[in-house]
Amino acid sequence: MHELSLIQELLDMVKQSAIENGITRVDRVRLVVGESYGALPEALAFAFEVLAEGTVCHGAALDIVDSPLLFKCRECGTEFKPGEYSYRCPDCSASNAEPVGGRELYVDYYEGD
């Protein structure tokens, strides 16, 4: 369950930023998770609830935003969501595409006092 280590790193980053900014209580954390990252939202939420106890994030809401897997065709520049078994561009049918979304994992923001 790599979600535990991901949330522990997230909490460490938020705690450090909160200290640097004089924030004593975090109310909300927004986390962006790419579709291809392989992290389960339910497991992330559970890990956050457990690991946040006793920290500046205790009781904070965790908003998880999914970022869809997205490719960009290197031939025509079209951005597209790949099919289940196909990574071909829907506009020009080229199979020369690069991922441009859905691989990220970051804290978008947090709110607190």
Which DSSP string do the residues of 11-35 spell out, in sequence order? HHHHHHHHHHTT---EEEEEEEEEG
* Radius of gyration for the alpha carbons in the chain, expressed in angstroms and rounded: 18
Q: What is the pLDDT of residues 62-71, one digit of tens each?
A: 999 999 999 9
Neighbours of 65 (CB within 10 A): 10
Residue 44 is given by DSSP the state: H
The domains found in the chain, sorted by start residue, are: 3-14+23-112 (3.30.2320.80)
Cα separations (Å) of 69 from 26, 81, 92? 30, 6, 19
CA nearest 104: which of 55, 40, 36?
36
Q: What is the pLDDT of residues 2-61, one digit of tens each?
A: 899 999 999 999 999 999 999 999 999 999 999 988 889 999 999 999 999 999 999 999
Q: Is 2 annotated as a binding residue?
A: yes
Q: Is 58 annotated as a binding residue?
A: no
